Amino acid sequence: MVQISTPKQVNIPEKIMKVEDMKIPLHILVHQNEHLQNAIDHFDLMQFFPNPIDIVAQIYLGMKKCEMFLTVNSIINKLTIPSKKSKDLASKEMSFDDFFPVYFSIVAVNPPPNSVQMKHFLDSIIGISIPVTFDYARLFFTSAVEYLEKYENNAPEEENIPLS
């Protein structure tokens, strides 16, 4: 089950995590970190918005909180003084393969109660003109839910993650 897995077990790259965090179960890590807790709060709020743009905005804000968590980790790992330049540098060094395991793990720790239905709803809004960053956030969320659905279907019975 992703929630009780460690970052190492879900293949989150060590270069973007603090060494001591690699062995802490994700659900504990999320509840100990303000940025990750804020990300989950944004994901929880999604269920209360009927407007797809508001939903995607919450996804985007949650992603930014996950990114902030990783930026802080990157700065700590490099033992640099937090500055605008070091934050930009940390963000540029992060790839999709670095960020996605963190993102889907955070979504899995506390998925929105209707995440599968939300995914289908967001998949159906393709004709709506939204900013590229919001479309990217929408795609990230729908990909994470799809990935977790596949994980749920392939996991042993006692490890299933309730997504809907």
Question: What is the 3-state secondary structure of 81-109?
Answer: CCCHHHHHHHHHCCCHHHHHHHHHHHHHH
- Taking a C-beta distance cutoff of 8 angstroms, is the pair 12, 70 a contact? no
Q: What is the pTM of this model?
A: 0.78
C-alpha 118: how far from its chain's center? 15
The answer to whether residue 56 is domain-embedded is yes
Q: Kindly tell me if the per-residue pLDDT of 45 is higher than 70.
A: yes
Provide the pLDDT for residue 148. Answer: 87
Domain of residue 52, residue span: 2-159
Residue 142 φ/ψ, nearest 5 degrees? -65, -35
Q: How far apart are CA 157 and CA 40, in angstroms?
A: 25
Q: Strand, helix or coil at 9? A: coil
Nearest-angstrom CA–CA distance, 63 and 104: 10
Number of compact structural domains in the chain? 1
Hunting for tokens 């179960």 — which residue is that?
25
Compute the distance between CA of residue 66 and CA of residue 11 in angstroms, rounded to an integer: 16
Q: Please report, for the domain that includes residue 11, its CATH number.
A: 1.20.1050.80
Instruction: Compute the distance between CA of residue 162 and CA of residue 164 in angstroms, rounded to an integer.
Output: 6
Is residue 164 in a domain? no
Mean pLDDT of 48-65: 93
Query: Would you say residue 149 lies in a domain?
Result: yes
pLDDT of residue 64: 94
Lowest mean pLDDT among 50-59, 111-120, 127-136: 127-136
Higher pLDDT, 157 or 129: 129
Distance CA 66, CA 42 (A): 11
Residue 69 is assigned to a structural domain of this protein: yes
pLDDT at position 88 is: 47
